[in-house]
A and B are shown apart, each in its own frame.
Chain A
Amino acid sequence: MATSPSYTCRWCGMSTDAPNLVSCPTCGAPVDVRDRVSASGWYELPAIPDMARLQFGRSYCQIEGSYVPVADFNLAGDDGVYFTHHLLLWKDAGVDIGPMALRGGWKRMFAGLPLLMTQARGPGHVAFSRDAPGEVVPVPLHRGMSVDVREHIFMVATSQVQYDWFTTGVWFQTKEGDDTETHYPVGMYMDRFTAPGTPGLLLLHAHGNAFIRQLAPGESLLIKPTALLFKDSTVQMHLHFEHPAGTWRSWRSWGDRFVWLRLTGPGRVSVHSAYDKLEDPGTNLTGSSPATRYQWRG
């Protein structure tokens, strides 16, 4: 008996024997296009074909549009998804939505994180989009896999995915006069998504384009902190201050420093190309979480 050859997706790593594939059934990445890998090793998220379907359990998600894509879930039986409520675009009248309890409500509220997650249960359709141009980034989670996502990037996850959040521990303090200010370049908290038992699907929204790279154990990379999209939980992060040569401090100084996030493998890191401006008033640096420094000499 002839068997169709197995296909392993370069983006999500899932293998399938399904015949006549146009896109990966798990993450939607097209199978018939050449991989786009930069000379430096960044793998570009392949544009998901319009109307591609991502299968999970008995349900599936259809990706619609390209500038500001919509994730349209067709929930079968009592399959469910959870999301932050302001991303809901439309739903069938029969789809039930309700709150999902979260721990640490006070802390989340003070950190500007959504106070509650909303969950939707099938059967029926429910659709989501974020109000910014970019890409839907599917992150299928294999059993036992865990990823950390910068705040306000998360779009929607299937109910098999466990949600938690943690303190980033990445900060620096500046002082001007008597005022001391603490800055959190990757946010005070990060979201953590884990698939403890069965595989699940996590969807993120990247602003602009999304790129991913695999770091070997001990390999490190400097990125703009606000460009971080997600990372494997095995990847460590801390600050790096870089001081260029040929500058001097003045009362209107920009701080003579670049603030980087150092990511150290093993694991995947992903960035997006349209990132927020990093808040650094440029005043005296009085303290920080563990960080490395480098001063360039002219």
Chain B
Amino acid sequence: MDTGTRVECQWCKSQNTPDARSCFTCGAPLDVRNLVSDSGWREAPRLRDMTEIHFGRSTCQVEGEIVPVAEIALGQGDWVYFEHHVMLWKDESAAMSVMPLGGGIKRAFAGMPFIITVAQGPGRIAFSRDATGELVVLPLHPGVELDVREHAFLLASHSIGYSFVRIKGLKNILFGGQGMFMDRFVAGNEQGLLILHGYGNVFERMLQPGESILLEPGAFLYKDASVTMQVETQRLSSGLFGGTGMNLARMTGPGRIGIQSMYVHHHTDD
């Protein structure tokens, strides 16, 4: 293959043909400048209305911009999984089933969905989440492990393994804004597609080994499994009134982290 004539997607690093306007694998526009803030945050690519993304024998078309819809045309033998309440509509032909999950009782107590639903092709099925925001398309290369805040994932393709990890430390559970568990997605031997919904705008940043940043915990969207998270409390004292405590999550590299600008506000003791 003559790689010299290929165009690399700045978001997912996939190679595309020179005439492509958007990335075949993640839908990011290829003819638009990458938006990176001076502080190093890269804005998730603004997907053009009706952009098509390809995985396996299937395609995903992104429709709308304020609350975008992911419409999947599933090829024969392909399947996707999702939380059932994000389903918008489906063809009758798309077969539905439930993914067997371990730790059902733990998940139920933690407020996570008790079941993950599966739709199998051929057929069309569409998804959206009921909030203003962006679809974050993350093609996962083999071996990549990604942790995602609960209820943020919209759908994943069949080649991506799903599990969940317990958040360690009582303080992280109580004040981390994520609950008790995070979803973990692992790409096996084959590349797969993971689509998240971020509230508001979504930004990504790569942390170097040992580099850390403090986040509003509700803003956390996803991270590489190699990034650690530790909640810290900062007292804001105001003398007579005692003040308040502000909890911030210290994220330490190496790896990427993704945040959303319309965050899920977490508890503070004010």
Contacts and interface: CB of A to CB of B under 8 A. Distances in A.
Contacts of A98: 236
Contact of B219 (A90, A116, A132): A90
A93 interface: yes
22 contacts: A51-B37, A51-B43, A64-B261, A65-B43, A65-B261, A67-B66, A68-B261, A72-B37, A85-B244, A90-B219, A91-B213, A92-B214, A93-B213, A93-B250, A101-B239, A102-B238, A105-B241, A109-B241, A115-B238, A115-B241, A116-B236, A129-B200
Interface residues on B, range: 35 or more
Contact of A68 (B199, B214, B239): B199
Contact of B201 (A62, A67, A74, A102): A67
A131 B41 contact: no
Given A85-B246, A90-B259, A64 B199 contact: no
B35 A51 contact: yes
Nearest to A102: B238
B268 interface: yes
B238 A131 contact: no
A88 B265 CA distance: 11
Contact of B213 (A65, A90, A115): A90
A67 B134 contact: yes
Consensus secondary structure, chain A interface? mixed
Given A53-B38, A85-B244, A131-B263, 10 more contacts: A62-B37, A64-B201, A67-B133, A67-B201, A72-B39, A101-B238, A102-B238, A116-B241, A116-B244, A118-B246
B269 to A, nearest CB: 12
B219 A65 contact: no
B216 interface: yes
Interface in B245-262: 246, 248, 250, 259, 261-262
Interface in B38-97: 38-39, 41, 43, 66
Given A67-B262, A68-B261, A70-B201, A90 B216 contact: yes
A131 B131 CA distance: 11
Interface of B: 35-39, 41, 43, 66, 132-134, 199-201, 203, 212-216, 218-219, 234, 236-241, 243-244, 246, 248, 250, 259, 261-265, 268, 270
A85 B236 contact: yes
A70 B264 CA distance: 15
A125 interface: yes
A294 B118 CA distance: 61
B246 A62 contact: no
Contacts of B236: 85, 97-99, 116, 118
A89 B35 contact: no
A126 to B, nearest CB: 9
Given A88-B216, A131-B262, A66 B238 contact: no
B131 to A, nearest CB: 9
A129 B234 contact: no
A259 interface: no
Nearest to B249: A90
Nearest to A65: B201
B38 A74 contact: yes
B238 A132 contact: no
Contacts of A125: 39
Residue among B39, B201, B239, B263 facing the most chain A CB atoms (10 A cut-off):
B39
B248 to A, nearest CB: 8
A131 B259 contact: no
A173 B66 CA distance: 40
B212 A133 contact: no
Q: Which of A53, A67, A74, A102 has the most CB of B within 10 A?
A: A67
Contacts of A62: 37-39
Contacts of A109: 241
A89 B37 contact: no
A68 to B, nearest CB: 3
A30 interface: no
Most buried by B among A70, A109, A116, A132: A70
A89 B43 contact: no
A70 B214 contact: no
Contacts of B134: 67
A116 B235 CA distance: 12
Contacts of A129: 200, 219, 261-263
Contacts of B261: 64-65, 67-70, 89, 129
A169 B141 CA distance: 61
B200 A65 contact: yes
A86 interface: yes
Given A69-B261, A98-B236, A131-B263, A89 B215 contact: yes
A69 B260 CA distance: 10
A216 B147 CA distance: 56
A66 B243 contact: no
B151 to A, nearest CB: 15
B140 to A, nearest CB: 24
A272 B251 CA distance: 36
A116 B264 CA distance: 22
A132 B132 CA distance: 9
Contacts of B212: 93
